[in-house]
């Protein structure tokens, strides 16, 4: 039956999403730290006299120098640190905005410099983080074919640059191409459609947010349509990384993307095992 084929496709997509979450030890579940750089010297270690305190690090692991937007790392003499698998060089670290960002490895710890708005931050993973090692499964609403909805895509006359706030309080400008209009149980709804490569991206809240689903919303991506129709399959809605860790920097849904209905489809709230 067509419904059985569809249900199998959704379940396969969910299994793939779960594999992608955990196939590398550097993932959202193993993210254990996020630190804001201050100008000058920033020390890292588990001892309380460090600027960046991380319990899984040596007592004193070294220091980052942050000046004029550039970050360099100076490990203590007896620690071996690599960058992308090679010996660490005495140069500014490439950030997440560069083509080949540096990932520093110190034992089971992996560190990278990221930029959000005007802020420069250190992101830290631990390959042995309990949240990663103890992971069992993601949780989903039962597949609901009625929440696979054909919507009207109403393009803006010109793409609009709109501000988006993220979970750490920084603001960035994103390009929005239009709106999708649709109905759920007879209730008229609409969502602003953000451009994301070859996709339309939807960051939304609904009446399950904070209950059965993650309180800060979920996301859905669909291919850009050629015409004025787009298929919204909410069974494929996914959590943002912030659902799995307090150290992610996810964008927050804009006010116009708060749906007045329950979307009982897609990924549910994540509970660590």
Where are the chain's structural domains?
31-128, 137-257
Provide the pLDDT confidence category of residue 90 given band limits of 50, 70 and 90: confident
The token pair at 107 is 């034992």
Provide the pLDDT confidence category of residue 226 given band limits of 50, 70 and 90: very high
Decide: helix, strand or coil at residue 211: coil
Q: DSSP label at 251? A: B
pLDDT of residue 1: 46
Q: What average pLDDT score do residues 171-191 get?
A: 97
Q: What tens digit of pLDDT does each residue of 97-112 get?
A: 999 999 999 999 999 9
pLDDT of residue 28: 97
Mean pLDDT of all residues in the chain? 95
Do residues 18 and 27 touch, judged by C-beta distance below 8 A? no
CA–CA separation, 1 vs 208, rounded Å?
Answer: 30
- Provide the sign of the torsion angle of the four alpha carbons 90, 92, 95, 101, taken in this order: negative
Do residues 56 and 126 touch, judged by C-beta distance below 8 A? yes
Provide the pLDDT confidence category of residue 272 given band limits of 50, 70 and 90: low
Q: What average pLDDT score do residues 155-169 get?
A: 96
The DSSP-derived string for 34-60 is EEE--SEEEEEESSTTSSEE-TTS-S-
Decide: helix, strand or coil at residue 217: coil
Q: What average pLDDT score do residues 151-164 get?
A: 97
pLDDT of residue 78: 80
Bridging pattern class, strands 148-165 and 119-126? unpaired
221: left (phi over 0), alpha (psi -120 to 50) or beta: beta
pLDDT of residue 161: 98
Do residues 146 and 238 touch, judged by C-beta distance below 8 A? no
Q: What tens digit of pLDDT does each residue of 110-133 get?
A: 999 999 999 999 999 999 999 999
Provide the pLDDT confidence category of residue 239 given band limits of 50, 70 and 90: very high
Question: Which residues pair with residue 122 across a beta bridge?
Answer: 35, 113
Q: What average pLDDT score do residues 67-84 get?
A: 92
Q: Which of 65, 21, 53 is nearest to 238 (CA)?
A: 21
Contacts of 56 (CB under 8 A, 6+ apart): 32, 46, 108, 109, 126, 128, 129
Q: What average pLDDT score do residues 186-213 get?
A: 98
Q: What average pLDDT score do residues 174-183 get?
A: 98
pLDDT above 80: residue 273: no
Provide the pLDDT confidence category of residue 264 given band limits of 50, 70 and 90: very high
Provide the pLDDT confidence category of residue 79 given band limits of 50, 70 and 90: confident
Q: What average pLDDT score do residues 35-47 get?
A: 97
Q: Which residue reads 């996020």 in tokens?
A: 34
CB atoms within 10 A of CB 197: 9
Determine whether domain 31-128 maps to CATH 2.60.200.20.
yes
pLDDT above 80: residue 235: yes
């Amino acid at each position: 039956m067509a419904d059985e084929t569809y249900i199998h496709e959704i379940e396969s997509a969910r299994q793939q999403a779960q594999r992608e979450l955990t196939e590398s030890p550097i993932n959202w579940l193993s993210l254990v730290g996020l630190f804001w750089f201050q100008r000058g010297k920033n020390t890292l270690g588990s001892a309380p006299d460090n600027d960046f305190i991380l319990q899984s690090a040596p007592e004193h692991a070294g220091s980052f120098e942050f000046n004029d937007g550039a970050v360099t790392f100076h490990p203590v003499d007896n620690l071996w640190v690599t960058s992308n698998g090679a010996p660490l060089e005495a140069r500014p670290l490439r950030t997440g905005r560069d083509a080949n960002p540096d990932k520093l490895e110190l034992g089971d710890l992996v560190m990278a410099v990221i930029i959000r708005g005007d802020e420069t931050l250190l992101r830290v993973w631990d390959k042995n983080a309990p949240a990663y090692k103890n992971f069992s499964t993601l949780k989903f609403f039962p597949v609901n074919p009625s929440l696979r909805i054909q919507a009207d895509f109403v393009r803006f006359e010109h793409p609009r640059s709109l501000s988006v706030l993220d979970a750490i309080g920084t603001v960035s400008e994103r390009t929005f191409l239009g709106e999708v209009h649709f109905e759920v149980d007879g209730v008229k709804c609409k969502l602003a459609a953000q451009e994301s490569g070859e996709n339309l991206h939807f960051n939304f809240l609904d009446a399950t947010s904070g209950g059965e689903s993650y309180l800060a919303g979920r996301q859905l991506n669909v291919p850009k349509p050629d015409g004025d129709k787009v298929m919204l399959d909410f069974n494929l809605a996914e959590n943002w990384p912030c659902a799995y860790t307090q150290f992610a920097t996810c964008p927050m849904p804009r006010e116009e993307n708060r749906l007045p209905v329950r979307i009982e489809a897609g990924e549910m709230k994540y509970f660590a095992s």
